[in-house]
Amino acid sequence: MPAPAWLTGRLAGIELFAGLSDEQLDWLACAGTVRELGDGQALFVEGAPADGFYILLDGEIVVSKLVGGREQVLTRHLGDALEHQFIGELPLLTSDEYLATALAVGPARVVAYGKAAFFDMLERCPQVCRVLLPVLAGRINAMERQAGRSRMLEGLGMLAAGLAHELNNPAAAALRAARELR
């Protein structure tokens, strides 16, 4: 079955696929499945088995993670910059589960590639690796920085609680001593 011309043309405009041949772009268009997402609809959910790699065609996807009982926004994918044109590669490469939840903000459209198609893409289109790997390294680095900041804030919170406790103890002791003097 021939690839839809609009999809082949749209994929040709995505930086991840720059320099691919028409044959490779046709294969990509046939190998993927276009998914339409409504506002608030999940692309994937934290903790679910990683089963897809996604190219953002239109709309916005917000990626967030539950940290300390609070939802923390990690990034917004608008398709405007290279690092925001695709999502889902890290868990596929580590044979893991999704590390965060991705939700559509308003209507969004993606091309979804299953795990097997993703690895076929890397084999059939080695140029993709030259673009994908530096972005992947940047994402891992950002995750490490974020984890470090979270640990630092957690430590500062514990320090503040400890200081408050130590400051309250002498004040309470002084009040008790003042009552006893009466």
In this prediction, residue 74 carries a pLDDT of: 87
Please name the helix (run of DSSP H) or strand (run of DSSP E) that holds residue 121, with its range, or none.
Answer: helix 115-124
pLDDT at 181: 67
CA 119 to centroid of chain Cα atoms: 19
Q: Is residue 152 part of a domain?
A: no
End-to-end CA distance of the chain: 95
Which pLDDT does position 70 carry in this prediction? Answer: 87
Q: Does 175 map to a domain?
A: no
Number of alpha helices (DSSP H) and beta strands (DSSP E) in the chain: 5, 6
Smallest Cα–Cα separation from 76: which of 36, 32, 106?
A: 106
Asked if residue 85 belongs to a domain, the reply is yes
User: Residue 60: helix, strand or coil by DSSP?
Assistant: strand
Rounded CA-CA distance 6/12 in Å is: 10
Low-confidence ranges of the chain (pLDDT < 70): 1, 82, 137-175, 177-178, 181-182
Q: What is the pLDDT of residue 157?
A: 59
pLDDT for 5: 87
CATH number of the domain bearing residue 62: 2.60.120.10
Question: Which pLDDT score is estimated for 60?
Answer: 95
Is 48 inside any structural domain? Answer: yes
- Please state the domain count of the chain: 1
Contact 61, 43 (CB under 8 A): yes
Longest dimension (CA), the chain: 95
What pLDDT digit, counting tens, does each position of 36-54 carry?
999 999 999 999 999 999 9
CA–CA dist 122, 173 (Å, integer): 68
Domain contains 78: yes
What is the structure's pLDDT at 51?
94
Domain carrying residue 18:
5-147
Instruction: Indicate whether 163 belongs to any domain.
Output: no
User: What pLDDT sits at residue 41?
Assistant: 97
| Residue 170: inside a domain | no
- 169 in a structural domain: no
